[in-house]
Structure 1
Amino acid sequence: MDLNTLLQRAQSLTKGNVECELPGVERTLQQVLQATEQLHSRVTQTGAKEIQAQILLGSKGIDLPKLNQKLEALSTGKTFEPVDVAGSDTDVCTFLKNERENAILSVIEDTNKNISDSVSKQKWGNLTSSWNEEKTRLLDALIGPSQNFIDLQRLPEQIILNPECLPLSCLDKMSLLYAQEVCEYNALVLKDRPRPNLVQKFAQLASTFGDVRLTEMWMLLSCVTQVNESPSQTDPIKSRQQRPEFVLHARTYLERRYKVYISSLVTQACATDSYQLVRAYVSRRFSGQQTIGLVDTAGGKPLWPLIYYSLRCGAFEAAVDFLREAGSSYDEFAQLIGDRNAGVINSKIESKLKLQYANKIRNSTDAYKKAVYCILLGCDTNEVHGEVAKTIDDFLWIKLAMLRPGDAAGYGQLQSSFIENYGEKYFNAAQHAHLYFQALALTGQFEAAIEFLARTDANRVHAVHMAIALHELGILGGVRSVSQPLLSIDISDPTPLRRLNLARLIRLYVQRFEGTDTAEALHYYYTLRNLHDPKGRNLFLTCVCDLVVDSGVLDTSIFDLIFGQRQTATLPEHTISGGLFQQFSCPDFDTRTMAGLVADELITRGNFEMAVRLYDMAGKLNLALKHISILLAQVVQQPAVEGTLRARLSLEAERFSNRLTNRQTEIEPKILVSFTLLRDLIKFFDNYNEGKPQVALELLDHTGLIPHSIRDVDTCLANVRRLSGEVIKVIPDVMVAAMDITLTKYKQLKSETEPVSVLQHQRLQDLRERAKAIANMAATMPYCPTNQRLLQLELLMH
């Protein structure tokens, strides 16, 4: 079958004439060809990646063109538009859903509109305010006696500062008074004299500030910390729970405070006698219906309120007297109170009274009777006694009174209840800082109390000095490493006690004024003398070292202030005059030790210039000469300009030279040779730059570094190999200077007379030989960056 026959049959298929077995189609071959060409052009334009994507999605039954059409039809314009109202055939759930969504969308739209309006209003308000201020400033500037416009251009003003004017102190009056107490206390320590109780000293000082709450906090701390000193090797944190003095003194403080309170409510005549005082207070408080529920009486007064308030004031004798007045049926209870006051435990009476409490008293309507039984017998430790304890002080006193001596577990539970269960939120500590501090301090949590005060600027100064005072008493629980946070928990400590990082607290406090009140700063750092940094160094020395190092690279005032002025060569070696650090000298550290430590730190930070001065103060002349040689090697070839590092090092080198003439200490020969050569090279370059070639060459010949002739090259090379790296570094510049001087002399000698005489010819020949020797030496040295320059200068002499 030929192609024509096939074409005819295909055309006949489109007309419905079926003359063969081929199926019916809707396109002719021409149409198929056109569709193929269109598909080919579209595929080539789409790209290989899109084709692969279509094949992949098509294998999963996804029609990508239709998917693209659906995605293009999506619109986000109606995201926050109200939902269409449901038709009549919509059910109730759909209707409520649409209404809820419409309400939410309306709230969002109103909120956006209000925010936009508020921002716009504030913007225009600020603009209007700034325009009014600028208008007022301009109008005020235009006011004057004449009608001429005032020139508003700001002219430069010359300000002359008095160099002798000291910076103002950063300490306020209160901080200065605290600092004076610290300085006086340290003076007694340094003189090894008896030291006062620093807490009591600060408490006396705080009473002069006129702040009642501050005075109460210091008096509380003074009362609670009147405990016997523990051995120095005992950890204050671990021994605190086992020492009953803290609980006893806390109770005593609350009892004295309450006695003062009720004394202010009754007549002055009763204030001195506890019996009459309590009786008068109970008579004032309980009258008429207020006695309902109180079961027993004594002398016409309710008995158990008399007993409770006697105990609350610490008047055990008065409580016994009231019980005896009530009759013989209370003799056992009176004996219990008397034994408890004497520190005696009568187990038989306590067991009998506990049984009586369990059978009768627990359900009594007399809240005071229940409270007294619980306080003395330790019953129902979780009872709050809200009808009796009206204040935090009352609640805390009841809890402390129920503790038995040595009850570490009960003491720990009480501490946990205040710092963890109640916490700052319960006490509203942000507004009532003194209440939360008192609660923590009375429960023996001094570290947490101090850290809480240190958070605010107003109380930080008091917190710092509380920490210092407790540290001097050996009561403060310190951290095991000074790199720990300000307040931390040690897993080996009793719960819930914390540890305070005294070093971090003091350094944060002192950093703000150590630049202006350096003397006071040193005294504060001295309180850290018994602590050590992670490297094992004395923390006092470390703090002073950081103070000096951070003061500035070229600021020598702080160095002179702390270490004093260095003396001239006429005085004994290592003599230092003045200096704040001199007052802290002791066998453990003195001024020279401190100067050496600071110098080591400066070396690690790259400040060799100040380190040289401090090494000289410390008597470490070897290190001083070594590091000044390193500095001289960097600037010796530079011209002498006043105020530069080279000028300062020149003066320093001259000073060391005078010291070396009558030195008493041994210096390493290699260090001494290096310093001597560099000192001579300074003078050589000074004369060379000043245009004195002959003097410069004489100084250079004295050093023996540069050859005169070819014969001297090996000797000079051997000398150079024995030198230190600092001197070898300068040799190439010395060669260039020597070659330049030789060329200058050669040109001068050659231009003096014509024709050249025999003597002059010999001198020219010597100069050429000298230049050749210098060039040969440079070529023989392992590394000489000026070799090419030397060859160029030598060629100019031929």
Structure 2
Amino acid sequence: MNPESEGFTDLLQQAEQLTADMDSGTELPHLERNLLQILEAGQRLLTRTTPASQENVDVQASILLGSKGFVLPKISDRLEGLRTATTFESLEPVRDTDIQGFLKNERENALLAVIEQTRKNTFEGVERRQWECMENEWERDKQKILNSLLGSGPDSFQFQQDLEMSVPDGQLSQGRSSLDHAEMAYARQVFVYNESVIENGILPSLVDMFAEVAKNMGDQSVIDLWRLVQCMTEIPLGQMYGNKPSIIRADKQIQAHFVARAKHYLETTYISYLESTVSSNLRQAQLGGVPGTYRLVLSYLNVRPPVTARLPEDGKLDDQPVWALLFFCLRCGDLKAAKHVVDRARNQLGDFPTFFEEYISTSDHRLNQGNDTKINLQYRRIVKNCSDPYKRAVYCVIGRCDWREDHTDILDKIDDYLWMKLSHVGDPQLLDGNQEHLSLVKLQKMLLEDYGESHFNGYQQPFLYFQVLFLTGQFEAAIEFFSRIERLRYLAVHTALVLYDMKLLVIPANCQCQILSQDSSDSPDLLRLNIARLMMMYTRKFEATDAREALQYFYFLRNLKTAKGENLFMSCVSELVLETREFDMLLGRMERDGTRKSGAIDKFNQDTQKITEMVAKDTEAKGMFEDAVKLYDLSENHEKALSLMNKLLSQVVAVAPAPQSTRDRLCSMAISMAERYNSVGHEATQVTTKTFHLLLDLITFFDLCHTGSMDKAIEVMQDIKLLPFTPAEVDLRVNSFKNFSDEIRRCLPDLLLATMNILHSKYQKLRGSGPQSLIGRQSRTEDGGKETHLNMLRSQARTLIMFAGMLPYRLPGDTNARLVQIEVLMN
């Protein structure tokens, strides 16, 4: 048994025994009281006790705490002192104290609260501004990096390899062009185009000019690309030229025309393919002497027999299946040849000739509602399950039946697949939202998003994928794809220029967008290409070595605006000048006779003065003040040029001259400006001009000081009347000094010290010399006027001390100390 259980058992037995003893026959009565009676009894007992006084309590507390080493009075004082809040953390008002202490504490709390809040606001403001500056700087660096990168995609990992392929060894060296022979040829055409636009106002065909370059290069892929661009851009826009590109591209008629041009291109190239195949197999083709598409198709089928699983349906014509002949004639786009087949085999084709005649008689090749229903019903019931693939394909073309069927048994090339899908595309106005028919928007989405680059092996066959996108009217996506491949980026840029020149390229409102973006106001199928970023990304490769060519490309951006509303062409020119520092070559320069020598920018008939001033502002913002002075002078902003020059000169006035130094360079520039302004005039204010000439005089003074020409230096200082040399001049010079600019005031400490050192040197030299050495203006007395001249030098030194003390301008502390020290040495 558990010992604890045994203990409780014993207690229980003892309790029961006590209860039994109480209930035993004793004479003591039982007391029973309720709660009220117990409370009254307690109160009576409390009144009988003696109340403890405060003194007894203090004494008992002192005895208790004293045994542990604590003094009660001191502890009480400390506790009372802790009630007042004196720190930042404790700003609660004082309670239970006198009015004077309460008000004093409230005042301190209010001051501390204001200080704490001000400190908090200051730190928050500093941190906020710091992050804003960092974000702006990061944004600028990000834009530069994005313009330099190739973009995303597998080809971006081959950047170094592609760069080496496109730029031969040594072309990146100084003085050599960074453009390869193909890029240089296209740049030459851009120059010729701009020359024609600027000088004659004529807009030549840019696409034809680029196609001519491709033909001279001999690259068949590039030749085919420009042939494709030529075909797709032959659109009679008419009165739509005044509209925006986004409106033109969204127009249903224009989209239908894109589809027609794409089919025409595919049909033309297919005829070329048939001709090359037949010409390579003349004996087997048995072409004969009759020209025409029908004979060409027959010859081709002799070389490449049609695909037939069993015997062809509806018989043959000239030993070839009727439906195969009809399909290949349609594939070549020759409806006359197709009609020739239908007419000769009319009795074999059932109701099809009726459908075909209506198909070729309408401009949009659409059947009326009755025949459209009949041909689709006939296709679903009979033709879809027939054994002849060419018959199924012909029905799909004429009746636009079953656009989801790919006809893979006879369409094994991308061109054939695109031609079949484009044949299904009908009138966009009638097909929007109709799931039974294929619209251009559906086809674009299917090719770009559902299939995409990986399906078409884009990076291994870039020209093929470009053709797929371009033929379906996705110009922006096709150009953006090429822009991600270094060796093909020049084609992307020049294709974009062609479309932009023809107002067929949709561009974003903000030139800082990604290369390919989408506007919320546009339809989901319409993408926008940032031609500005594409252009900058392309020109960054060669702007350092071919700045003139970069200007030609930037000229296309003259009608665009930056996010700040500035002309994008001017902004690009400014950035180009700052990057290359080719100020004279790009912007021109000022000759000594005041005439301006033209730069490369003058050929564009733009506001060169405004462009130059814009570049000057950007240069000044970057801290390139010397270049900013030249540019402001070049833009004929003489006031700004002299103001900046004054700030620069004031920093080097007292510096010792040295060849090729900053001071020497600034002095040469300032003297050249002064001579030119004096001869041809200027438009700067009188105050700025006076400061400029005074700084030049001060430079002359310090030059004389550094060369040891002390007498000439003193004469210069007396002539410019900046410092007093007699007590009578002090008040006049002090009052005049108030009108001087900050640039002159900044030079004052060095001027005073230099002048005082000259006086001290002359004083020392005079004291060590004899009477015979005193000549000129010195008066002769018994000692040769030596003492008189020494007194004059001392008086001039005291005058300078007096002048320095009366100036309303705080000089550095060591300047005053050195002045006084030198003056003491002279006494």
Please report the TM-score for the alignment, with normalisation by the length of structure 2. 0.72
CA separation of 1:193 and 1:272: change in aligned 2, threshold 3 A: farther
Please name the residue that 1:73 is paired with.
none
State how far apart, in whole Å, the 2-side matches of 1:246 and 1:498 are: 16
Q: 2:195 aligned with 1:175, yes or no?
A: no
Please name the residue that 2:518 is paired with.
489
For residues 615-630 of structure 1, the aligned pairs below 5 Å read 615-630=632-647
1:231 to 225, 236, 241: 241
Question: How many Å apart are 1:371 and its aligned residue?
Answer: 1.9
Q: 2:498 aligned with 1:469, yes or no?
A: yes
CA separation of 1:166 and 1:547: change in aligned 2, threshold 3 A: same
What residue identity is the alignment partner of 1:772? R
> Aligned residues, how many?
622
Please name the residue that 2:712 is paired with.
695
CA separation of 1:577 and 1:238: change in aligned 2, threshold 3 A: same
1:379 to 383, 389, 401: 401
For residues 542-557 of structure 1, the aligned pairs below 5 Å read 542-551=571-580
Alpha carbons 2:554, 2:572 under 8 Å: kept: yes
Alpha carbons 2:359, 2:365 under 8 Å: kept: no
State how far apart, in whole Å, the 2-side matches of 1:756 and 1:375 are: 129
Please name the residue that 2:599 is paired with.
579
What residue identity is the alignment partner of 1:362? K
For residues 349-360 of structure 1, the aligned pairs below 5 Å read 349-360=371-382
Question: How many Å apart are 1:393 and its aligned residue?
Answer: 0.8
What residue identity is the alignment partner of 1:375? V
Q: 2:420 aligned with 1:391, yes or no?
A: no
Give the aligned CA root-mean-square deviation in angstroms. Answer: 2.4
Please name the residue that 1:402 is paired with.
424
Alpha carbons 1:254, 1:393 under 8 Å: kept: yes
Deviations 1:31-75 (A, max 9, x none): xxxxxxxxxxxxxxxxxxxxxxxxxxxxxxxxxxxxxxxxxxxxx
Please name the residue that 1:540 is paired with.
569
1:560 to 577, 584, 594: 584
Question: How many Å apart are 1:207 and its aligned residue?
Answer: 2.2
Q: 2:463 aligned with 1:434, yes or no?
A: yes
For residues 179-198 of structure 1, the aligned pairs below 5 Å read 179-198=187-206
Q: 2:273 aligned with 1:261, yes or no?
A: yes
State how far apart, in whole Å, the 2-side matches of 1:235 and 1:486 are: 17
State how far apart, in whole Å, the 2-side matches of 1:593 and 1:468 are: 26
Please name the residue that 2:449 is paired with.
420
The secondary structure found in structure 1 opposite 2:241 is coil
For residues 317-356 of structure 1, the aligned pairs below 5 Å read 317-327=336-346, 329=350, 330-340=352-362, 346-356=368-378
Please name the residue that 1:32 is paired with.
none
The secondary structure found in structure 2 opposite 1:264 is helix
State how far apart, in whole Å, the 2-side matches of 1:236 and 1:191 are: 30
Please name the residue that 2:8 is paired with.
none
What residue identity is the alignment partner of 2:497? I
Alpha carbons 2:244, 2:503 under 8 Å: kept: no
Q: 2:793 aligned with 1:767, yes or no?
A: yes
State how far apart, in whole Å, the 2-side matches of 1:254 and 1:686 are: 81
Question: How many Å apart are 1:369 and its aligned residue?
Answer: 2.0
For residues 276-291 of structure 1, the aligned pairs below 5 Å read 276-286=295-305
Please name the residue that 2:97 is paired with.
none
1:783 to 775, 796, 810: 810
State how far apart, in whole Å, the 2-side matches of 1:272 and 1:300 are: 19
CA separation of 1:269 and 1:197: change in aligned 2, threshold 3 A: farther
Deviations 1:563-596 (A, max 9, x none): 2332113xxx4x222422221223xx22x22221
More displaced stretch, 172-181 vs 754-763: 754-763
Q: 2:227 aligned with 1:219, yes or no?
A: yes
The secondary structure found in structure 1 opposite 2:428 is coil
Please name the residue that 1:746 is paired with.
763
State how far apart, in whole Å, the 2-side matches of 1:548 and 1:457 are: 25
Please name the residue that 2:215 is paired with.
207
Deviations 1:94-123 (A, max 9, x none): xxxxxxxxxxxxxxxxxxxxxxxxxxxxxx
Alpha carbons 1:732, 1:778 under 8 Å: kept: no
* Aligned residues with identical type, % of pairs: 34
CA separation of 1:787 and 1:232: change in aligned 2, threshold 3 A: farther
Alpha carbons 1:232, 1:474 under 8 Å: kept: no
Question: How many Å apart are 1:698 and its aligned residue?
Answer: 1.8
Question: How many Å apart are 1:400 and its aligned residue?
Answer: 0.7
State how far apart, in whole Å, the 2-side matches of 1:264 and 1:610 are: 63
State how far apart, in whole Å, the 2-side matches of 1:452 and 1:496 are: 17
What residue identity is the alignment partner of 2:535? I
CA separation of 1:598 and 1:638: change in aligned 2, threshold 3 A: same
Alpha carbons 1:299, 1:326 under 8 Å: kept: no
State how far apart, in whole Å, the 1-side matches of 2:289 and 2:415 are: 23
The secondary structure found in structure 1 opposite 2:737 is helix
Give unpaired runs (5+ residues) of structure 1.
1-164, 553-557
State how far apart, in whole Å, the 1-side matches of 2:277 and 2:363 are: 27
State how far apart, in whole Å, the 2-side matches of 1:692 and 1:333 are: 110
Q: 2:614 aligned with 1:603, yes or no?
A: no
State how far apart, in whole Å, the 1-side matches of 2:302 and 2:313 are: 14
Q: 2:682 aligned with 1:642, yes or no?
A: no
More displaced stretch, 514-523 vs 234-243: 234-243
What residue identity is the alignment partner of 2:485? T
Deviations 1:750-795 (A, max 9, x none): 3334697484443332222211121122223331121111111111
State how far apart, in whole Å, the 1-side matches of 2:677 and 2:181 are: 50
Alpha carbons 2:367, 2:399 under 8 Å: kept: no
Question: How many Å apart are 1:313 and its aligned residue?
Answer: 0.4
Please name the residue that 1:527 is paired with.
556
Q: 2:511 aligned with 1:511, yes or no?
A: no
What residue identity is the alignment partner of 1:563? L
Question: How many Å apart are 1:284 and its aligned residue?
Answer: 4.4
Alpha carbons 1:563, 1:576 under 8 Å: kept: no
Q: 2:736 aligned with 1:736, yes or no?
A: no
CA separation of 1:214 and 1:270: change in aligned 2, threshold 3 A: farther
Please report the TM-score for the alignment, with normalisation by the length of structure 1. 0.74
The secondary structure found in structure 1 opposite 2:616 is helix
Greater relative contact order, per chain length (Cα 8 Å cut-off, separation 6+):
2
Please name the residue that 2:29 is paired with.
none
CA separation of 1:690 and 1:273: change in aligned 2, threshold 3 A: same
Please name the residue that 1:152 is paired with.
none
For residues 90-101 of structure 1, the aligned pairs below 5 Å read none
State how far apart, in whole Å, the 2-side matches of 1:438 and 1:166 are: 38
Question: How many Å apart are 1:360 and its aligned residue?
Answer: 3.1
State how far apart, in whole Å, the 1-side matches of 2:290 and 2:569 are: 51
Deviations 1:350-371 (A, max 9, x none): 3443343344333333322222
Please name the residue that 2:728 is paired with.
711
What residue identity is the alignment partner of 1:173? H
Please name the residue that 1:251 is paired with.
263
What residue identity is the alignment partner of 1:784? L
The secondary structure found in structure 2 opposite 1:246 is helix
Question: How many Å apart are 1:215 and its aligned residue?
Answer: 1.8
State how far apart, in whole Å, the 2-side matches of 1:524 and 1:487 are: 20
Alpha carbons 1:270, 1:277 under 8 Å: kept: no
Question: How many Å apart are 1:541 and its aligned residue?
Answer: 1.5
Alpha carbons 1:632, 1:678 under 8 Å: kept: yes
Alpha carbons 1:562, 1:580 under 8 Å: kept: yes
State how far apart, in whole Å, the 2-side matches of 1:264 and 1:659 are: 73
Give unpaired runs (5+ residues) of structure 2.
1-172, 433-438, 772-780
CA separation of 1:262 and 1:791: change in aligned 2, threshold 3 A: same
Please name the residue that 1:96 is paired with.
none
Question: How many Å apart are 1:227 and its aligned residue?
Answer: 1.6
Deviations 1:322-347 (A, max 9, x none): 11111265441231232145767644
